[in-house]
Amino acid sequence: MIINYKVLTKVKMWGTLLLLLFVQSCQIEGESLSLRELPKPDFDAEEIGPGRIRLTNRSNQPTIARWTVLSSGQKLEGDVVEVNLIFEGSYDVKLDVTGQGGMASVTKTVSVSADDPEACSDDKLLGFLASCTQKTWRLNPEAGAFKVGPGPDNGDWWSSGTADVVTRSCEFNDEFTFYFNAEGTFAYDNKGDFFADGYLGNKTAGCEPADNLKGDQMLWNSGTFQFGVVEGTGVKRLGQLRLIGKGAHIGVKKAHNGGETDTGPATDYILYDVLDMQKNVNGQGYDLLKIGVNIGGDGWWTFTLRSFEN
CATH code for the domain in which residue 98 is found = 2.60.40.10
pTM to 2 decimals? 0.80
Whole-number pLDDT of residue 35 = 61
| Cβ atoms 87, 81 nearer than 8 A | no
Q: Are residues 97 and 131 in the same domain?
A: no
The rounded distance, in Å, linking the Cα atoms of 145 and 165 is: 9
pLDDT confidence band for 169 (50 / 70 / 90): very high
Least confident of 4-18, 55-69, 87-101, 275-289: 4-18
Residue 36 lies in a domain: no
The rounded distance, in Å, linking the Cα atoms of 10 and 5 is: 9
H or E segment and range at residue 26 = helix 5-32
Residue 131 lies in a domain: yes
What is the span of the domain harbouring residue 57? 43-112
Q: Does the structure show a pLDDT above 90 at 91?
A: yes
Whole-number pLDDT of residue 31 = 43
Last residue of a domain, one of 56, 85, 112: 112
Q: Does the structure show a pLDDT above 60 at 109?
A: yes
Residue 284 lies in a domain: yes
Greater confidence (31 vs 199) lies with: 199
Least confident of 15-19, 52-56, 211-215: 15-19
Instruction: Please spell the DSSP secondary structure of 150-166, one letter per residue.
Output: ESTT--SSEE--TTHHH
Q: Are residues 160 and 299 in the same domain?
A: yes
Q: Are residues 96 and 129 in the same domain?
A: no
Three-class SS of residue 30?
helix
Q: Does the structure show a pLDDT above 80 at 114?
A: yes
Q: Are residues 280 and 165 in the same domain?
A: yes
Last residue of a domain, one of 91, 112, 133: 112
Residue 157 lies in a domain: yes
pLDDT confidence band for 13 (50 / 70 / 90): very low
Report pLDDT digits (tens) over 115-125.
998 889 989 99
Q: Are residues 91 and 187 in the same domain?
A: no
Instruction: Please spell the DSSP secondary structure of 242-254, one letter per residue.
Output: EEESTT--SSSTT
pLDDT confidence band for 108 (50 / 70 / 90): very high
DSSP state of 215: G
Q: Does the structure show a pLDDT above 90 at 293?
A: yes
pLDDT confidence band for 43 (50 / 70 / 90): very high
Report pLDDT digits (tens) over 20-38.
344 344 444 444 445 679 9
Number of domains in the chain: 2
Report pLDDT digits (tens) over 218-260.
999 999 999 989 888 999 999 999 999 999 999 999 999 999 9
Q: Does the structure show a pLDDT above 90 at 285?
A: yes
Residue 214 lies in a domain: yes
Last residue of a domain, one of 112, 145, 163: 112
